[in-house]
Structure 1
Amino acid sequence: MRLTANMTIDYENHHSVLCILNEFMLTAGRDEKYADRLISMQQEFLDGFRVLLLRE
């Protein structure tokens, strides 16, 4: 996904990626194995984002 000049996300060029991500999210809600991985991915994202915010 890329941000356009007005900071909106260009979803049309990434339809297949969004479909796969959506399916993964739906599966994570039904299967503990996927739910644990999703939680781990979210935590890693938040940890990385925090590191970026704390940089001087």
Structure 2
Amino acid sequence: MGRVPLATATLFNLRVFAVVVGATVLMLIALAHQSLRRPRQPPAAETGGQG
């Protein structure tokens, strides 16, 4: 079997790490965006039942 230079394996690992971190950040941004898009409705008891 051929030998794989350490630099090649390190570059591959760094790319995989970047993809995982990027995907995680995108998911967190999407979740934050969803929670900001939908305004929270106050409970009916706090508004006096009107509304």
The TM-score normalised by the length of structure 2 is 0.49
- Larger Rg: 1 or 2? 2
Larger RCO (CA within 8 A; separation ≥ 6):
1
